[in-house]
């Protein structure tokens, strides 16, 4: 199938074959040299004159209320401009987050009186210098009426929680099928709280230039969605708010929404009429944003003697806060991964005294795959079958959850290629059977997957007289490579070298873009730029053929555009600049979006980009779209000390067409490194007495470092999938973390004979 087939399906993306142009090449990151040279300006480095500094004050109890805050000493401290708490704060209009949760009540104040978790924002101090603000914040005298908190869902008082209706799914006759299945397993798996921890913590500089014009420098994965938050809070129009976010030091899901500290800084800026800067400290990031909630999943699998799955029962629970609902969608992988004729899946959320959890790399899919892919390994042991063979037997010819055919699913190919590269055939299946000296060697494998999401995007393309091209959009690049792949896309369509294309991103004044979340942005924005660049090329050709002053006027209808020149295919080409000059222009500019053509008001169109409603704006496709990968991992466990080292990783990926294989490989490797951390290191630890987060720094909350990471081999088996997306790519960013932790847990079982079902796997689990 060629790209020309796609417009009908998407209603919006014009097609042409892009063949062997710049898109798809392993180009270097366009922004790389700026970052290496320190020339990329991050939000808090923006040179804003006259900034005041804001410091946050947080609750030190896990539940109860603030009885009083004595502000007198803080207010009298040197340099202090404002002490803010629930008593004197401006009130804002409540805004729903992008999942639709709206804070209770008809007004919103980011400072709490009723305390729902330890570390909740209760006050802020603004002073001339950061040191003054910090010193004054320490002078606030807070009196509490403390209540007993329920810090985690392991606390017996947390109870069962409430069912999430959307997570209940059943087909076939799971109970009967399980009862009759000749081979059965049942096991419970747990994952702890996990935190996003981008290297650049949250923070912002915010300035009301007039009462009704607001500028914010803040790292965000979603310029449009975050601008909507500020506009809503302050009752401003969307256009009155400008967010500038050209560089982002990582987000991993944590930077996609307006958070209470952002509201606090903006209130201070409004009340003082001065720019305010707020840098969330590393410990504060653990409560400024929730991260992944703790999860618990019980799986029952029933299979025939030949390994065919007959029944699956999935009972899940995840934590949420007492004030809002975030659902870590735990059944998401379970329902679509294999051919399961009888299934029952359900999930509760359990409110506890925590900050509201939120998206964290591969939300839902990641813990879902941990439980399921471990359970499948346990079933393989029970059946005496090779775990790859068991998966092959259960490879589904369509998506059992939706009933739709796959747009593409090259998972069998992943098994072949990665298994071969890893040497899986040489595995002795018996636990503790492979060793080197004191080291027990374990080989484990597991599968990962990620859906392909869709939303509209908008881009602007400018052709300049000097033959260069400018591409712009409010999409963002948090280290993923958006700048680079959009330059490649425009270069591809317009026949210019990538170096001639400049890309501007991360400014809410530019074309609308959806959230860089759900690993969707690359596919959506390459499609938007592709469509826009084609339109720009068409306009150029029309100009050449029809403008009275065009030297190319009245040519046969065969003008081509390549290498910055336009002309008839047989000679006679002139430069784009010459054509623009002859026709009295210094540039040609085109803006297009990928919303289906429909009557929508500007406000409705805006909503499609700044809320998740945009996902509903595109037609439902008749295919099920997912990326896949298969991880093969070797661990070495010291027999005496129980220390676990990951010594080899080979992963094959089916993520469709890769727009830039070098950057995709970085994404794949980054996810695998995070998966190693998830399996062996990462654990948010709370004080059971009061919910205080004890691991709120990078020493106690351990993430994988170079010493933990072995040689990683990544192999792409993807082929362009034009049924999945207009340019044939599938999801990349979050794919590779999914399945790493179960592959490691399965390898640890193979090495030691010990089945550890709770992450992270620690050496004490093995002694
Ligand atoms: N890519 C490609 N071919 C494709 C798809 C993607 O070459 N078919 C490459 C491109 O370089 C693209 C990158 O992979 O820029 C990621 O593309 P995509 O999968 O569309 O993901 P997004 O652009 O939507 O980025 C968000 C995604 C998410 S949701 C999280 S969480 C995450 C991730 O990206 N956070 C990251 N990767 C991250 N990488 C860095 N460095 N920092 C983060 O915070
Ligand atoms: Mo990614 S957690 O979907 O931003």
Q: Residues 217-233, buried b or exposed e (16+ Cβ, 10 A)?
A: bbbbbbbbbbbbbbbbb
Does residue 335 belong to any structural domain of this protein?
no
**Hey, whose CA ends up nearest to atom 4 of ligand 1?**
658
Does residue 306 belong to any structural domain of this protein?
no
CB of 517 within 6 A of ligand 2: the answer is: yes
CB of 489 within 6 A of ligand 1: the answer is: no
pLDDT at 614: 83
Domain boundary among 585, 615, 645: 615
Which ligand has its closest atom nearest to the C-alpha of 519? 1
pLDDT at 119: 98
Does residue 197 belong to any structural domain of this protein?
no
Does residue 412 belong to any structural domain of this protein?
yes
Judge if 650 and 741 occupy the same domain.
yes
- Long-range (24+ apart) CB contacts under 8 A made by 540-548 are 540/463, 540/566, 540/576, 540/579, 540/588, 541/566, 543/579, 543/583, 543/588, 544/579, 547/582, 547/583
Residue 503, beta-bridge partner list: 471
Does residue 305 belong to any structural domain of this protein?
no
Q: Which atom of ligand 1 is nearest to the CA of 251?
A: 44
Eight-state DSSP code of residue 611: S
**Which of 740, 765, 645, 224 lies closest to 444, judged by CA?**
740
pLDDT at 569: 67
Tell me if residue 264 falls in helix, strand or coil: helix
Judge if 738 and 649 occupy the same domain.
yes
Judge if 628 and 485 occupy the same domain.
no
Q: Which atom of ligand 1 is nearest to the CA of 663?
A: 11
Q: How many domains does the chain have?
A: 2
Q: Which atom of ligand 2 is nearest to the CA of 734?
A: 1
CATH number of the domain within which 725 lies: 3.30.365.10
For residue 401, indicate whether it is catalytic. no
Q: Do 551 and 579 contact (CB within 8 A), yes or no?
A: yes
Q: How far apart are CA 216 and CA 233, in angstroms?
A: 14
Judge if 626 and 535 occupy the same domain.
no
Judge if 516 and 554 occupy the same domain.
yes
Residue 635, beta-bridge partner list: 442, 646
Which ligand has its closest atom nearest to the C-alpha of 366? 2
Q: How far, in Å, from the CA of 220 to the mean position of ligand 2? A: 12
Does residue 159 belong to any structural domain of this protein?
no
**Which of 593, 584, 578, 576 lies closest to 469, judged by CA?**
576
Q: Do 467 and 575 contact (CB within 8 A), yes or no?
A: yes
CB of 517 within 6 A of ligand 1: the answer is: yes
Does residue 267 belong to any structural domain of this protein?
no
Judge if 668 and 695 occupy the same domain.
yes
CB of 250 within 6 A of ligand 1: the answer is: yes
Judge if 754 and 707 occupy the same domain.
yes
**Hey, whose CA ends up nearest to atom 4 of ligand 2?**
253
How many Å from the N-terminal Cα to the C-terminal Cα in the chain? 55
CB of 731 within 6 A of ligand 1: the answer is: yes
Judge if 434 and 470 occupy the same domain.
no
The answer to whether the complex's ipTM is over 0.90 is yes
Q: Do 151 and 118 contact (CB within 8 A), yes or no?
A: yes
- As to burial, measured by CB atoms within 10 angstroms (0-12 exposed, 13-18 middle, 19+ buried), residue 42 is middle
pLDDT at 597: 75
Q: How far, in Å, from the CA of 365 to the mean position of ligand 1? A: 16
CB of 518 within 6 A of ligand 2: the answer is: yes
Q: How far, in Å, from the CA of 385 to the mean position of ligand 1? A: 36
Judge if 732 and 654 occupy the same domain.
yes
**Hey, whose CA ends up nearest to atom 18 of ligand 1?**
519
Residue whose CB lies within 8 A of the most ligand 1 atoms, among 485, 518, 656, 733, for a mutation test: 733
Q: Which atom of ligand 2 is nearest to the CA of 253?
A: 4
CA-only gyration radius of the chain, Å = 27
Q: Which atom of ligand 2 is nearest to the CA of 251?
A: 4
Q: Per-residue DSSP letters for 188-204?
A: EEEE-BB----SS--EE
Which ligand has its closest atom nearest to the C-alpha of 475? 1
CB of 233 within 6 A of ligand 1: the answer is: no
Helix axes 602-610, 223-234, angle to 10 degrees: 120
Q: Do 514 and 614 contact (CB within 8 A), yes or no?
A: yes
**Which of 629, 697, 62 lies closest to 355, judged by CA?**
62
Judge if 637 and 563 occupy the same domain.
no
Q: Where are the beta strands (DSSP E) in 22-151?
A: 52-58, 64-70, 80-85, 114-115, 121-127, 141-146
Q: How far, in Å, from the CA of 418 to the mean position of ligand 1? A: 22
Q: How far, in Å, from the CA of 21 to the mean position of ligand 1? A: 22
CB of 326 within 6 A of ligand 2: the answer is: no
Judge if 603 and 751 occupy the same domain.
no
The active-site residue out of 120, 401, 682, 734 is 734
Does residue 228 belong to any structural domain of this protein?
no
What phi, psi does 127 have (nearest 5°)?
A: -140, 175
Residue whose CB lies within 8 A of the most ligand 1 atoms, among 201, 221, 519, for a mutation test: 519
Q: How far, in Å, from the CA of 733 to the mean position of ligand 1? A: 4
Domain that holds residue 758: 404-453+622-765
Q: Which atom of ligand 1 is nearest to the CA of 482?
A: 15
**Which of 512, 725, 508 lies closest to 604, judged by CA?**
512
Q: Which atom of ligand 1 is nearest to the CA of 656?
A: 8
Q: Per-residue DSSP letters for 512-524?
A: ----S-TT-HHHH
pLDDT at 570: 66
Q: Which residues of the chain have pLDDT under 70?
A: 1-19, 556-557, 569-570
CB of 478 within 6 A of ligand 1: the answer is: yes
Q: How far apart are CA 605 and CA 405, in angstroms?
A: 31
Eight-state DSSP code of residue 514: -
Domain boundary among 593, 615, 637: 615
CB of 198 within 6 A of ligand 1: the answer is: yes
Q: How far apart are CA 675 and CA 101, in angstroms?
A: 29
Number of Cβ within 10 Å of residue 652's Cβ equals: 27
CB of 253 within 6 A of ligand 1: the answer is: yes
Q: Which atom of ligand 2 is nearest to the CA of 733?
A: 1
Domain boundary among 574, 599, 615: 615
For the stretch 263-282, pLDDT in tens is 999 999 999 999 999 999 99
Q: How far, in Å, from the CA of 507 to the mean position of ligand 1? A: 19
Which ligand has its closest atom nearest to the C-alpha of 24? 1
Report how far Cα 168 is from the mean position of its chain's Cα atoms: 24
CB of 659 within 6 A of ligand 1: the answer is: yes
CB of 363 within 6 A of ligand 2: the answer is: yes
Residue whose CB lies within 8 A of the most ligand 2 atoms, among 332, 358, 367, 517, for a mutation test: 517
Judge if 650 and 603 occupy the same domain.
no
User: By 3-state DSSP, what share of the chain in percent is helix, strand and coil, each rounded to 5?
Assistant: 30, 25, 45
Q: How far apart are CA 633 and CA 423, in angstroms?
A: 11
Sign of the Cα pseudo-torsion (593, 596, 602, 608, in order): negative
Q: How far apart are CA 531 and CA 11, in angstroms?
A: 12
Q: How far, in Å, from the CA of 649 to the mean position of ligand 1? A: 21
CB of 359 within 6 A of ligand 2: the answer is: yes
pLDDT at 298: 98
Q: Do 752 and 647 contact (CB within 8 A), yes or no?
A: no
Q: Do 117 and 686 contact (CB within 8 A), yes or no?
A: no
Q: How far, in Å, from the CA of 480 to the mean position of ligand 1? A: 5
Q: Do 669 and 714 contact (CB within 8 A), yes or no?
A: yes
Is the preceding omega at residue 760 within 30 degrees of 0, hence cis? yes
pLDDT at 374: 98
Q: How far, in Å, from the CA of 733 to the mean position of ligand 2? A: 9
């Amino acid at each position: 199938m060629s790209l020309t087939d796609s417009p009908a399906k998407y209603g919006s993306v014009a097609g042409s074959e892009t063949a062997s142009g710049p898109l798809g090449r392993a180009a270097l990151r366009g922004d790389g040299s700026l970052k290496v040279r320190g020339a990329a300006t991050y939000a808090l480095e923006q040179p804003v004159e006259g900034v005041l500094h804001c410091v946050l004050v947080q609750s030190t109890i896990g539940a109860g209320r603030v009885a009083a805050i004595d502000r007198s000493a803080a207010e009298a401290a040197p340099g202090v401009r404002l002490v803010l708490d629930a008593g004197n704060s401006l009130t804002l209009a409540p805004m729903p987050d992008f999942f639709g949760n709206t804070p209770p009540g008809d007004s919103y104040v980011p400072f709490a009186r009723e305390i729902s978790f330890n570390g909740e924002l209760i006050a802020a101090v603004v002073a001339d210098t950061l040191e003054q603000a910090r010193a004054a914040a320490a002078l606030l005298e807070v009196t509490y009426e403390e209540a007993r908190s329920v810090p985690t869902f392991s606390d017996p008082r947390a109870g069962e929680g409430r069912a999430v209706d959307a997570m209940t799914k059943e087909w076939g006759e799971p109970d009967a099928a399980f009862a009759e299945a000749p081979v059965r397993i049942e096991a419970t798996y747990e994952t702890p709280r996990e935190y996003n921890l981008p290297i650049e913590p949250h923070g912002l500089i915010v300035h009301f230039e007039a009462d009704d014009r607001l500028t914010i420098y803040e790292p965000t994965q979603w310029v449009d969605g975050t601008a909507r938050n500020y506009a809503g809070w302050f009752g401003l129009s969307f256009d009155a708010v400008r967010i500038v976010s050209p560089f982002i030091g990582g987000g991993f899901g944590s930077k996609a929404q307006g958070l209470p500290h952002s509201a606090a800084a903006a209130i201070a800026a409004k009340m003082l009429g001065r720019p305010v800067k707020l840098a969330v400290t590393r410990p504060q990031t653990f409560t400024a944003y929730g991260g992944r909630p703790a999860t618990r999943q019980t799986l029952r699998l029933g299979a025939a003697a030949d390994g065919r799955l007959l029944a699956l029962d999935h009972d899940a629970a995840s934590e949420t806060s007492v004030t809002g609902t975030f659902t870590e969608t735990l059944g998401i992988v379970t329902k679509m991964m294999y051919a399961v004729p009888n299934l029952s899946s359900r999930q509760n959320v359990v409110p506890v005294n925590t900050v509201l959890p939120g998206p964290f790399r591969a939300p839902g899919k990641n813990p879902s795959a941990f439980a399921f892919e471990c359970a499948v390994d346990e079933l393989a042991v029970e059946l005496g079958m090779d775990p790859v063979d068991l998966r092959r037997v259960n490879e589904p010819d369509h998506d059992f959850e939706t009933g739709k055919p796959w747009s593409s699913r090259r998972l069998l190919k992943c098994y072949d290629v990665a298994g071969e590269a890893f040497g899986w055939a040489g595995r002795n299946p018996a636990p503790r059977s492979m060793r080197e000296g004191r080291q027990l060697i374990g080989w484990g494998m597991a599968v990962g997957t990620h859906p392909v999401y869709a939303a509209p995007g908008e881009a602007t393309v400018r052709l300049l007289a000097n033959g260069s091209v400018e591409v712009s959009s409010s999409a963002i690049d948090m280290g993923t490579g958006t700048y680079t792949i959009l330059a490649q896309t425009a270069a591809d369509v317009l026949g210019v070298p990538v170096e001639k294309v400049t890309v501007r991103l991360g400014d809410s004044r530019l074309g609308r873009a959806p959230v860089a979340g759900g690993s969707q942005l690359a596919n959506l924005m390459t499609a938007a730029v592709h469509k826009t660049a084609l339109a720009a090329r068409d306009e150029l050709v029309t100009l050449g053929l029809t403008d009275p002053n065009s030297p190319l006027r009245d040519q046969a209808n065969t003008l081509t555009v390549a290498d910055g020149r336009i002309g008839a295919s047989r000679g006679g080409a002139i430069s784009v600049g010459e054509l623009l000059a002859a026709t009295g222009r210094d540039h040609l500019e085109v803006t297009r979006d990928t919303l289906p053509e429909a009557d929508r008001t500007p406000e409705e169109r805006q909503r499609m980009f700044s809320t998740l409603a945009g996902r509903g704006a595109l037609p439902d496709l008749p295919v099920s779209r997912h990326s896949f990968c298969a991880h093969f991992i070797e661990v070495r466990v010291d027999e005496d000390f129980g220390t676990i080292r990951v010594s080899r990783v080979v992963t094959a990926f089916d993520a469709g067409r890769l727009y830039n294989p070098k950057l995709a490989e970085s994404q794949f490797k980054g996810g695998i490194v995070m998966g190693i951390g998830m399996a062996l290191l990462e654990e948010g630890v709370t004080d059971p007495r009061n919910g205080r987060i004890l691991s709120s720094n990078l020493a106690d909350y351990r993430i994988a470092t170079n010493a933990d990471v072995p040689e990683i081999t990544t192999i792409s088996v993807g082929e362009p999938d034009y049924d999945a997306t207009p340019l044939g790519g599938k999801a990349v960013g979050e794919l590779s973390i999914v399945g790493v932790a179960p592959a490691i847990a399965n390898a640890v079982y193979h090495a030691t004979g010990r089945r550890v079902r709770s992450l992270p796997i620690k050496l004490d689990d093995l002694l």
